[in-house]
Structure 1
Amino acid sequence: MLRTALRRLGYTVAGGAAGTAMVYRNDFKQLEFDLASASGPLVRLFDVETSHKIGILAAKMGVFPKETRPDPACLRTTVWGREFPNPLGVAAGFDKDAEVIEPLLALGFGFVEVGSITPLPQPGNPKPRAFRLPEHGAVINRYGFNSEGAYAARNRLAAFRQKQAAAASGSFPAGLLGVNLGKNKLSEDAAADYSTGVTKLAPFADYLVINISSPNTPGLRSLQGRKELETLVKSVKQTRDGMKWAGPLGPPPLLVKIAPDLTSDDMEDIAAVALAQGIDGLIVSNTTITRPGPIGEDPVGKETGGLSGKPLFQMATEVLRQMYTLTGGKLPIIGVGGVSSGEDAYAKIRAGASLVELYSAFAYEGPKLVPRVKRELAELLERDGFSSVAEAVGADHRVAAAVLAK
């Protein structure tokens, strides 16, 4: 039985009983990642939210494998003066309450973005509120910022940083930490909520995110309007800049996460505010309320909420491409939406992303996705003659400009 399972994973098993047989492939570490992912079909027999809780519990219990193989040198990159071991991160939504940062970094992610974290605890929307579309590699959710609140997150983030600081050199997984901030559903003062998040959580973050693009909190996306965004950013930046910051890097960069469902005018307004107000970067994009292609014909596709996964890839990447153009490539962008391969990550980078996040594909494929995406991305960079991720950022725009210049 073990032999059969190993062969299905692509290994060659030769000689001896199952316990003593020789197993061949690139290395045994990959076997560890593959076996950790093999339980995925069983876990997915449960509903989406229960499966997610099982994944968090597994990470807490040390079931996730630990990556010990070094990343290819070409994947190292520096953004906002901060060094990332690789450009691949976990999008907000997986580790909502900052419970499993270390296990996720140990998997080999270059960074982890926790949240969205609201100032006060809130349960989110009624259940069921998440639905799979496995034949499309997609998920629809309407969680509504379910969060244990900033106080609980602060305690966990402080413990994480203390453990990181106390660890012997090289004994703690490399990688950076992003903190994604949300507002409480019943709050009438969005700026106050985000500023509270900054006050409580910014000291532990390598970067901060103002999430104004979830479709599951009433009125949230209206904050993407020019006037509303300008007012919000001014207030949140004032809070961040009024805090004391030790060390040469200063305060954590402040990013805004936007929706994919934007008009050209919307994007122009966001770009203008971002440049004028000194936003440090953008995350493009959140989930979509549209139902592209066959999704709209699927019974599950009629559920309300945000669609993520493969069907989002083209839409999110096009918005990324336009935002890079509108900002003149001056702002680092984290590309997210539909990434399930190194080719997808590479397309985001060429369109203008300095970093890339994924979530839905990780939920479907498990830990083995992480080394695969990094390996494929490194191969594509080498194929096209790029010695680093940074060299490839926005490459499509340069190619297009060169063609027009002829």
Structure 2
Amino acid sequence: MGQKSGTFRLPLRILRGMYRRIKPALFRLDAEDAHHLTLRALGAASRVPAWPEAARRLNSAGGHRLSQTLWGRPFASPVGLAAGLDKNGEAVPAFSALGFGFLEVGTVTPLAQPGNERPRLFRLPEDAALINRMGFNNGGAEALRARLAALPARPAPVWVNIGKNKATPNERAVEDYRACVRALFEVADGFVVNVSSPNTPGLRALQAAGDLADLVRAVLDEVESARVRTARRAPPVLVKLAPDLHPGDFEASVGGVVEAGANGLIVSNTTLGRDGLTHGHRVQTGGLSGRPLTTRSTALVRDAYRLTRGRVPIVGVGGVFTPEDAYAKLRAGASLVEVYTALIYEGPGLVARLNRGLSRLLERDGLRNVAEAVGVDA
């Protein structure tokens, strides 16, 4: 055990050291320029023969204690990559190599669109947060389909977060979500219905319980049609909710999507709230992510778990920086957690550190498997 642990710590220290050296230079760049530069580097690393697989073996430490089966699919770790970081699936092998148990790409829309005008991504270092108003900038569903279809192997499930084009009115939004399913069914290990981004005008109105239930049923109908057409196993359909819903509306939305047949929930998206922020960028419009959401998103996970009584898996998102943050969400009712903002601040060694820390916390509490922790505090 000691030799294996020491072998693991060495590359983790190297990753941390490398990121500490390059982080000041990256943070001197515009946030979106730094994002694109990093993504290009990860895309290049994805094409290095044998590297992603070798790196993943080092970064996935946690063993059987972290593995579980959900929707009939194995997850080697409960830690996943949240949507928004790799919108177009450009660096799936490299992100998988970091030790993620699953990846969420997108948000993708049927047609390519540029998103909102720049600048549209802002760091708030003192708050360990980001504000973005990207506006679903992406290369479109067909381009993503081609990129995912070309992957030689897929060591972790890849979910696709789907949305509507900005120009599509809400009364025709269902058509866009159906179009995404049709285009991506054969390459997606899961679909995430995004109705909770604050950066597409009118989108959050689709979270109203009745409208959302109708949308979920339409997406599930399209998935079933594609399953029959292709004879491929149907991927799960999850719905991503905002943290800003009134408690009564949140309860109605959760109930509506579960009754409509959704296979899971993602709680939560970015917030429009600005309480407690100190950085000057707090005045920027857009969705806030990172440390300010830690407590709020965990409480919402607990609410969703109680409302659903554990009937569907929940993915906890928002302010996961430490193993303790991730563990709190699991104990509140999440079966999986996702990270984004913390990866920007902590660097690529974060995922391995979360995996190792979660395994230790489970061992400390006498739990043999991560599934045993789910909902114990709810």
TM-score in same-fold range (> 0.5): yes
Per the alignment, do residues 246 and 369 of structure 1 end up closer, same or farther by CA in structure 2, a change over 3 Å counting?
farther
- Determine the structure 2 residue equivalent to 1:67: 56
How do 1:71-82 residues align onto structure 2 when only pairs under 5 Å count? 71-82=62-73
1:114 paired to 2:105? yes
Q: Could you tell me which amino acid in structure 1 is paired with residue 110 of structure 2?
A: P
Contact 1:36 1:366 in 2 (8 A): no
Pairing partner for 1:261 from 241, 244, 258: 244
Counterpart residue number, 1:316: 297
**What residue number does 1:41 align with?**
24
Aligned counterparts of 2:231 and 2:72: Cα–Cα separation in 1: 10
The answer to whether the aligner puts 1:203 opposite 2:186 as a matched pair is: yes
Does residue 353 (structure 1) correspond to residue 334 (structure 2)? The answer is yes
SS at match of 2:215: helix
Equivalent pair of 2:45/2:94 in contact (CA under 8 Å): yes
- Does residue 156 of structure 1 match 2:147? yes
Distance 1:357 1:368 in 2: 15
How far apart are residue 246 of structure 1 and its match?
A: 8.9
- String of CA shifts for 1:174-201, please: whole Å, max 9, x gaps: 2111110011001021100000000001
- 8 Å CA contact retained: 1:321, 1:352: yes
Is structure 2 residue 3 aligned with structure 1 residue 28? no
Q: Is the 8 A contact 1:29 1:67 kept in 2?
A: no
1:230 aligns with 2:213: yes
Q: How does 1:64-143 map to 2 (within 5 A)?
A: 66-69=55-58, 70-143=61-134
Q: Give the whole-Å Cα distance in 2 for the aligned partners of 1:106 and 1:300.
A: 33
Identity of aligned residues (%): 47
Task: Compute the displacement of 1:27 (Å).
Answer: 4.5
The alpha-carbon deviation at position 367 of structure 1 amounts to 0.8
| SS of equivalent residue, structure 1 residue 61 | helix
Please give the alpha-carbon distance, in whole angstroms, between the structure 2 residues aligned to 1:244 and 1:226: 27
Give SS of 2:352's match.
helix
Per-residue deviation, residues 273-292 of structure 1 (Å, max 9, x unmatched): 12211110000000000012
The offset of 1:129, in angstroms, is 0.5
Residue equivalent to 1:6: none
Q: CA contact under 8 A between 2:111 and 2:139: conserved in structure 1?
A: yes
Give the structure 1 partner of residue 364 of structure 2.
383
Write the distance in 2 (CA, Å) between the matches of 1:213 and 1:240: 21
Q: With structure 1 as the length reference, what TM-score do the two structures score?
A: 0.86
| Alignment root-mean-square deviation, CA | 1.8
2:316 matched to 1:335? yes
1:303 alignment partner, one of 260, 284, 309: 284
Asked whether the equivalents of residues 36 and 367 of structure 1 are also in contact (C-alpha less than 8 Å), the reply is no
> How far, CA to CA, are the matches of 2:14 and 2:230 in structure 1?
38
Q: Which runs of 5+ in 1 are unaligned?
A: 1-23, 165-172, 398-406
Task: Identify the residue that residue 404 of structure 1 maps to in structure 2.
Answer: none
Q: Could you list the per-position Cα deviations for residues 4-46 of structure 1 after superposition, in whole angstroms to 9, with x for gaps in the alignment?
A: xxxxxxxxxxxxxxxxxxxx98643224322442312211110
Structure 2 unmatched ranges of 5 or more: 1-5
Distance in 2 (CA, whole Å) between partners of 1:77 and 1:354 is 9
> SS of 1:186's equivalent?
coil
Residue 81 of structure 1 contacts residue 249 of structure 1 at CA under 8 Å; is this kept in 2? no
Q: SS in structure 1 opposite 2:166?
A: coil
TM (norm. structure 2) is 0.92
Q: Distance in 1 between matches of 2:63 and 2:8?
A: 15
SS state of the match for residue 244, structure 1? helix
**3-state SS of the aligned residue for 2:150?**
helix
Q: Distance in 2 between matches of 1:27 and 1:362?
A: 18
Distance 2:195 2:351 in 1: 28
SS of the residue 2:45 aligns to: coil
- Paired amino acid for 2:353: R
Aligned in 2, Cα 1:184/1:131: closer, same or farther, shift over 3 Å? same
Structure label with greater radius of gyration: 1
Gap change, CA 1:368 and 1:278, over 3 Å in 2:
same
Query: Which amino acid is 1:33 matched to?
Result: L
In structure 2, distance between residues paired with 1:119 and 1:221: 18
Please name the residue that 1:216 is paired with: 199
**Corresponding position of 1:170:** none
| Equivalent pair of 1:338/1:360 in contact (CA under 8 Å) | yes
Q: Structure 1 or 2: larger helix share? A: 2
Contact 1:212 1:258 in 2 (8 A): yes
Task: State how far apart, in whole Å, the 2-side matches of 1:191 and 1:27 are.
Answer: 48
Amino acid at match of 2:139: E
The alpha carbon displacement at 1:315 in A equals: 1.1
Task: Give the residue type in structure 2 aligned to 1:122.
Answer: Q
C-alpha distance in 2 between matches for 1:330 and 1:303: 38
- 1:131-165 Cα offsets, whole Å, 9 max, x none, are 111011100000010011111111101101xx11x
Distance 2:228 2:314 in 1: 24
Give the residue type in structure 1 aligned to 2:15: F
How far does the alpha carbon of each residue in 1:79-107 deviate from its partner, in whole angstroms, 9 at most, with x for none?
A: 11110111111000000001111111011
Could you tell me how far apart the structure 2 residues matched to 1:371 and 1:261 are?
31
Describe how 1:233-252 pairs up with structure 2 within 5 A.
233-244=216-227, 250-252=233-235
Contact kept, 8 Å, 1:287 with 1:308, in 2: the verdict is: yes
CA distance in 2 between partners of 1:243 and 1:117 (Å): 19
